[in-house]
Amino acid sequence: MDRKPYDDLSRRHFLQGAVAGAASLGLGPAFLAPQPATAATGKQVLFHPRVDSLQVVGVHDPAMTREVRPRCSWAEQEELVADRVVERNIDRMALALAGETDPGKAWARIFVKPPDRPWDKVRVAIKTNNIGQQHTRGAVMRKICNVFTGHLGVRPSSIHIYDGVHGRNLDRKTPYQDRIPGVRVMNTWGGATTPVDVPAPWSRGTGRAACVHAVASGEVDILVNVAVCKGHGGQFGGFTMTMKNHFGTFDPKWGHRAQATEYLLAINRTPQILGIVSAATGRIEHPRQQLCIVDALWASQDGPQAGSSEQPNRLFMGTLSPVLDYQVATRFRRDTMNWPIDEDVTGRFLSAFGLSPKDLPEGGRILDATGG
């Protein structure tokens, strides 16, 4: 078998780049000792202190929608979604991801609060995708908000839903606030206005790009990334999911010029998204982005402006964005839906984080949260 270019890259290569830029948050690096991940992989946790960052879970359940209608608007989809079934399946994914049997314990394992404050003082940001016609379904968004308020004790007013670039009419186009009382739909949240250092591979690690201020400054304690599943250009792997979702956290203009792939990878390696990596241990005490979800109840081969073309009735979840996108791209978009992806770019989603496909548990199999 031919060697892929990412086979020669190591975790050390990732860590050397990831440490760069941490000072822009004004935070000192304090880190937990490394802990073992699941027995299935034998890997050590690099990106999350409690959950195996290399594991991706999914669910396929036609009962999550009441009628088969692949091509329809977001408002029509809202009428078709079976909210309680979606919410139950999200709990199932959390159980599988955390290796627990109780949902409350599972969510408490996935979400890690800063050590210096109680849950009712924790500030949460949820990045959604408001470009084009496909958007996160309300049942998915509501369930994640209810996890924070119901299981963990976060105040609804401390949860902020945003898209810093395309969110100008977020509160009207996808009025989540009507279904999640007290949660703040921030639209653009002031936009991407605060420059931060961006590590390699973009601009050899010497570039700066504007970021949404609350994320750039470290005001956000926990970041949740909720993306949809649609196509995009080959420079992004042929798709847009959780990694490219941060083109609404960072200024996207650099991602549509030279080094587009490098910019995509680099912004997702910033401490603003990843958390601060210790140069000494290579561990993260408090991951910033703690959960990533791909909402594929509806999906499309085309994008990013295109409407839905298929109704897969699937959801996917993981704690590490590049691993989630890689596995959903290869196992679902390519192998299940037969939608083409750019193999080289998709492989770089792993190599930029010091990983390769052979690091993934069971060869990168997505764990079925229903036990099927």
Domain boundary assignment for the chain: 5-368
Tell me what pLDDT residue 284 has: 81
Q: Are 263 and 211 in contact (CB under 8 A)?
A: no
* Cα–Cα nearest to 141, from 293, 334, 254, 354: 293
Other CB atoms closer than 10 Å to residue 74's CB: what's the count? 18
**Six token digits for residue 81:** 């979604």
Whether residue 366 has pLDDT greater than 80: yes
Lowest mean pLDDT among 18-32, 76-90, 356-370: 18-32
More confident site: 47 or 135: 135
- Return mean pLDDT, the chain: 88
**Six token digits for residue 204:** 């050899």
How many Å apart are CA 184 and CA 296, to the nearest integer?
24
Other CB atoms closer than 10 Å to residue 43's CB: what's the count? 17
How many Å apart are CA 341 and CA 236, to the nearest integer?
9
Segment 226-252 shows an average pLDDT of: 97
Whether residue 44 has pLDDT greater than 50: no
Phi, psi of 298, rounded to the nearest 5 degrees: -125, 155
Tell me what pLDDT residue 4 has: 39
How many Å apart are CA 293 and CA 204, to the nearest integer?
30
Whether residue 38 has pLDDT greater than 50: no
Segment 106-115 shows an average pLDDT of: 96
Lowest mean pLDDT among 8-17, 56-65, 204-213, 256-265: 8-17
How many Å apart are CA 121 and CA 129, to the nearest integer?
26
How many Å apart are CA 102 and CA 111, to the nearest integer?
15
Angle of helix 343-351 relative to helix 260-267, nearest 10 degrees, comes to 30
Phi, psi of 2, rounded to the nearest 5 degrees: -65, 145
How many Å apart are CA 52 and CA 40, to the nearest integer?
10
**pLDDT-based confidence at 371, cuts 50/70/90?**
confident
Tell me what pLDDT residue 303 has: 85
Q: Are 292 and 317 in contact (CB under 8 A)?
A: yes
Other CB atoms closer than 10 Å to residue 233's CB: what's the count? 18
Tell me what pLDDT residue 285 has: 72
Secondary structure element (H or E) that encloses residue 198, with its range: strand 192-198
In single-letter form, the type of residue at position 86 comes to V
Strand 314-318 versus strand 289-296 pairing type: antiparallel
Q: Are 284 and 14 in contact (CB under 8 A)?
A: no
Tell me what pLDDT residue 1 has: 32
| Residues sharing a CB contact under 8 Å with residue 84, sequence separation 6 or more, in sequence order | none
Q: Are 190 and 217 in contact (CB under 8 A)?
A: no
What are the pLDDT digits (tens) for 155-165? Answer: 999 999 999 99
How many Å apart are CA 325 and CA 240, to the nearest integer?
9
Q: Are 354 and 282 in contact (CB under 8 A)?
A: no
